[in-house]
Amino acid sequence: MSEPILPPIGMLAELTHRCPLQCPYCSNPLELLKANRELDTQTWLDLFSQAADLGVLQVHLSGGEPTLRRDLEQLIAGLSARGVYTNLITAGINIAERRIEAFVQAGLDHLQLSFQGARQATTDRMGNHSGSHEKKLETARRARAAGLPLTINAPIYRHNIEEVPEFIDLALSLGAERLEIANVQYAGWALANRNALMPERAAVDRQMEIVAAAQERLAGIINIDFVPPDYFAVYPKPCMGGWARDAFMVTPDGTVLPCHAAQTIPSLRFERFGPNSLAEIWTDSAALNAFRGTKWMQEPCRSCERRELDWGGCRCQAMTIAGDAAATDPVCIKSPIHARMAMLSGETGRTAKPASADEAFIHRQIGIMTERA
């Protein structure tokens, strides 16, 4: 590796895989970790402290459902004491009375709340949790009352893509500063449910128009960030800003990964925090170094003028679809198998079905897929 290793700036901490919802689009791995595999409070605090020393400025506390960790206040306080910007990513279900205020007291900077639909029926059905929509609305109100800035996260798939205008109204009515309209990334449970979740091309096009118009109309009122759907794209996204370039994530048992799905690449072994310091993992991990920078690239990436814009795209998607983690992300129009994306998105294969068609999902649940030993 002759390219310099940058200090990491952002960290996603998956504190737990436990979750009250069972969303079929979840980016967690199919082999979910049980509570007894989670790092304890002190280990998370040590990890956060080492992260701050290394240069991490922002930590996203996620899961599973991070509020299921009873020590979340302590973890927030530890980060806050180091001046790290904290963002809590929550489903907003069953958060005990006064707890949001306790997070604020501990120094929480921002809360991101997911809605599976803009309509009650969609949210409750996708999370397989009756009453969840109403609980989320209540969490949003409590967050605003506690003075927390709010982002509404709207994961988009076939069953709610027509609700995008309602998501915008919902975010405005809840007083959110930011709305994230994020088309689902097909990894983890979302990959297992890809056929059911994949929207139609016409709906994707309509969505893009609606979002672009809203971004313009609502400038200065609400920030709308848009994550476009990979399978309908021409160029890949710079996944995580480039493999282990300036961000990383940590699983509930302390495994340090460049992204959610990296463990699906069978040739790579990722280290756990604890036996190794974070600094050692960040600089020395063979798995993190495997796809850093541009040296690993093959053609057409190697000589592509976009190679430092998208860093070759997503390695896991290359693995899943091209069968080679070092291949060009097939999302890219320059990929020799780009046409496969159209096939997988159903453009040529699947017959049109109404969005309300009740397709079978595998709902996310701990233990229904075998846990890794």
Partner 1 sequence: MMALRERALVSLQSVPSLPKHVRIQYDAVRQAFAVLSPEKIFWPNEISLDILRRCDGQSTVDHIIADLASDYEADRKEVAADVIAFLQEWSDKLLVRL
Which residues contribute to the site for partner 1 (CB under 8 A)?
Answer: 7, 9-10, 54-55, 57-58, 83, 85, 87, 109-110, 112, 147, 149, 151, 169, 172-173, 175, 177-178, 180, 219-223, 225
Residue 347 CB, nearest distance to partner 1 (Å)? 31
Question: Please, which residue, 41 or 58, has the CB nearer to partner 1?
Answer: 58
Question: Please, which residue, 54 or 208, has the CB nearer to partner 1?
Answer: 54
Q: Are strands 247-250 and 256-257 parallel, antiparallel or unpaired?
A: antiparallel
Question: Please, which residue, 173 or 267, has the CB nearer to partner 1?
Answer: 173
Round to whole Å and give the CA distance between 27 and 193: 11
Residue 216 CB, nearest distance to partner 1 (Å)? 11
Residue 9 CB, nearest distance to partner 1 (Å)? 6
Which H, E and C letters describe the chain, residue by residue?
CCCCCCCCCEEEEECCCCCCCCCCCCCCCCCCCCHHHCCCHHHHHHHHHHHHHHCCCEEEEECCCHHHCCCHHHHHHHHHHCCCEEEEEECCCCCCCCHHHHHHHHCCCEEEEECCCCCHHHHHHHCCCCCHHHHHHHHHHHHHHCCCCEEEEEEECCCCHHHHHHHHHHHHHCCCCEEEEEECCCCHHHHHCHHHHCCCHHHHHHHHHHHHHHHHHCCCCCEEEEECCHHHCCCCCCHHHCCCCCEEEECCCCEEECCCCHHHCCCCCCCEECCECHHHHHHHCHHHHHCCCCCCCCCCCCCCCCHHHHCCCCHHHHHHHHCCCCCCCCCCCCCCCCHHHHHHCCCCCCCCCCCCCCCCCCCCCCCCCCCCC
Residue 87 CB, nearest distance to partner 1 (Å)? 6
Question: Please, which residue, 217 or 353, has the CB nearer to partner 1?
Answer: 217
CA angle centred on 51, ends 47 and 55, rounded to 5°: 175
Question: Please, which residue, 108 or 304, has the CB nearer to partner 1?
Answer: 108
Residue 174 CB, nearest distance to partner 1 (Å)? 8
Question: Please, which residue, 172 or 342, has the CB nearer to partner 1?
Answer: 172
Question: Please, which residue, 221 or 339, has the CB nearer to partner 1?
Answer: 221
Tokens of 128: 């397989």
- Read off the amino acid at residue 298: Q
Residue 12 CB, nearest distance to partner 1 (Å)? 12
Question: Please, which residue, 146 or 355, has the CB nearer to partner 1?
Answer: 146
Residue 147 CB, nearest distance to partner 1 (Å)? 7
Residue 176 CB, nearest distance to partner 1 (Å)? 9
